[in-house]
């Protein structure tokens, strides 16, 4: 089981700030990282992922993959591709991702899973829990799992 490396608590007051949080988190990610996003419908999971895509310099508009389950966004900047998964309809967990026939190597990609709570054991990246409040205010907790996140700079995200 992975250990917690670092944690950040961020109050986000608009969709633009949520997208900016994604842009700021993106440089901390490496190929093979798995980002699990949890939160209610409308909490900002896709908006955060859109910012991650911008920060990673990937091709294509990042939109919710609800009906296709997963989308692959190749890098335009020589970095890792972004694999964006909506796990809401994946009953058996992330093992089903291998059956999706994605045209990308997951260990060489950054994988973002919406509705990721309880979907993977020992992920190699951060978990972000998004809680919706009144008037578009969101409380985001980003927890890095594993030793490499201890000094990865997650607390700097709190100045978002």
Q: Which residues are CB-contacts of 118 (< 8 A; sequence separation ≥ 6)?
A: none
For the record, the structure tokens of 10 come out as 């961020």
Task: Give the pLDDT confidence score for residue 122 in this predicted structure.
Answer: 44
**Helices assigned H by DSSP within 4-101:** 15-25, 45-56
pLDDT band at 133; cut points 50, 70, 90: confident
pLDDT-based confidence at residue 1 (cuts at 50, 70, 90): very low
Mean pLDDT, rounded, for 102-108: 76
Joined together, the tokens standing for residue 108 give: 């060489």
Query: pLDDT tens for residues 38-73?
Result: 898 889 999 999 999 999 999 989 998 877 788 889
Q: Which of 17-31, 34-48, 82-96 has the lowest mean pLDDT?
A: 82-96
For residues 132-159, average pLDDT: 85
Confidence of residue 12 (pLDDT cuts 50, 70, 90): very high
Contact (Cβ atoms closer than 8 angstroms) between residue 44 and residue 121: no
Tell me what pLDDT residue 56 has. Answer: 97
Sort strands 82-86 and 70-73 into parallel, antiparallel or unpaired: antiparallel
Are the beta carbons of 79 and 56 closer than 8 angstroms? yes
pLDDT above 70 for 95: no
- Averaged pLDDT score across all residues of the chain: 83
CA angle 39–26–63, rounded 5-degree value: 55
Q: Which domains does the chain have, with CATH numbers?
A: 12-150 (3.40.50.300)
Q: Is the pLDDT of residue 120 over 80?
A: no
């Amino acid at each position: 089981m992975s250990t917690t490396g670092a944690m950040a608590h961020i109050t986000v007051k608009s969709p633009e700030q949520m997208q900016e949080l994604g842009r700021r988190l993106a440089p901390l990610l490496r190929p093979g990282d798995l980002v699990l996003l949890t939160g209610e419908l409308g909490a900002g999971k896709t908006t955060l992922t859109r910012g991650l895509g911008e920060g990673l310099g990937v091709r294509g508009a990042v939109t919710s993959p609800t009906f296709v389950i997963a989308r692959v966004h190749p890098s335009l900047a020589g970095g890792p591709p972004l694999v964006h998964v909506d796990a809401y309809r994946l009953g058996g967990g992330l093992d089903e991702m291998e059956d999706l026939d994605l045209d990308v190597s997951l260990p060489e990609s950054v994988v973002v899973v919406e509705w990721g709570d309880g979907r993977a054991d020992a992920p190699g990246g951060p978990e972000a829990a998004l809680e919706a409040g009144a008037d578009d205010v969101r409380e985001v907790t980003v927890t890095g799992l594993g030793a490499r996140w201890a000094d990865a700079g997650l607390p700097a995200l709190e100045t978002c």
